[in-house]
Amino acid sequence: MTKIVDLKGDSRIMGPTNPNRSVAGITKIARHHSGTATGDVWSFQNHWRNLGWGTGGYHEIILRDGSVQLIYRDNVTTNGVGGHNTNTYHICLVGNGSFTSEQEKAFDERARAAMQRFNLKPADVLGHNEFSGHKSNSCPGTNMAAVRSRLGASGGSTQTPAPTPTYTVEPWNKRQVVSTDVLNVRAAQNTNSRVIKQIKRGQTFNATRITRNGESVNGFTTWFEVDGEGWVSGALVTEVSNNNTVAAAPPANVWHSRSGTVTVTATSGINLRGASNGDTTTPTNLGILAKLGRGQQVKYDRVLVQRNGHAFVRQPRSGGFGWLAIGPTKDGRVTEYWVSGITV
């Protein structure tokens, strides 16, 4: 399994953390090499700053040992190929025309994952010098026809592609109302599939079919088909009582005016997110300030409970607030606590 170091939202990464393009508009994946024998995002940033860039060059960097640094979110435009960045996702391998077997294995894995997210084919994976206007560039320093052959179904891949999930679909005919701010309608019953459209809080739709074994979202494996086209997670919608009236339901978010100290009990730790200037109902959209380990404490002055999502405590910080998830929620109730010192 490829080691992934997720740096998306890390305050040390140069450039924007907010979306500035539509993921639906991504049509190409670019392969690059660094042109150096060694390096990582921290050393490359010095070069990018010297070029006067405001954002780095790559969404992902594959190091010599095959581990991967995730740098930017899909919906952030980077500076990999001049004139083609708005619609391109960039992956760089550290090296100068020579790459390790671990790197090639990781690239195949990461390229396939991106192809699935953006609904692309091997033909859509190009080397830097295959883009118009860049023919004289030596990057990516490899035979891209051979790379695309590996990524194709008949290409003798370096690893076996993950099997496509088989979802059980049943007829359904009940109206649902969206209970989150913005909800992605996807091509399949998982969060890696292509986004077809978006619907907003309060909108209703007819759930024409149901899948009960889709990807788990906040503990829900139920997914609903939206008016015959595309799928949404059942964790983010509420059934309407009849075809005309929305059923009374707990509010999407509940605030509690409480203060105190919580202690992290989750073995794997919890991400502290922020900072926000004021209150927010979507703390998971904020960057990661730190990973708090078991036993670390956070002082809080307010509590947010999402209806189907998570509960958070708000940490006062200099110039803003940090947010710590304390456990998942279902129908407005905390189903499991990742901290001690509080009960909502």
In the chain (344 residues long), the average pLDDT of successive 10-residue segments reads: 83 77 90 93 91 91 95 91 93 92 93 90 94 90 92 51 72 88 89 88 90 83 91 87 46 83 93 91 90 94 90 93 94 90 89
Assigned CATH for 169-239:
2.30.30.40
Q: C-alpha 259: how far from its chain's center?
A: 31
Please answer whether residues 322 and 300 qualify as being in contact, where contact means their C-beta atoms are separated by less than 8 angstroms. no
- Domain range annotation of the chain: 4-151, 169-239, 253-340
Task: Give the residue carrying structure tokens 């490359």.
Answer: 44
Q: Provide the terminal-to-terminal Cα distance of the chain, rounded to the nearest Å.
A: 38
CATH class of 4-151: alpha beta
Right CATH for 253-340 from 2.30.30.40, 3.10.180.10, 2.60.40.10, 3.40.50.1370: 2.30.30.40
**Peptide bond preceding 19 in cis form (omega within 30 of 0):** no
Q: Tokens standing for 6?
A: 């997720």
pLDDT (0 to 100) of residue 313 = 96
CA distance 150 to 44: 28
- Cis ω on the peptide bond leading into residue 140 (within 30° of 0)? yes
Q: Cβ(66)–Cβ(106) under 8 Å?
A: yes
Instruction: Tell me the CB-side half-sphere exposure of residue 245, using CA atoms within 13 A.
Output: 4
Whole-prediction pTM: 0.48
Residue 117 φ then ψ, to 5°:
-65, -40
pLDDT of residue 160: 47
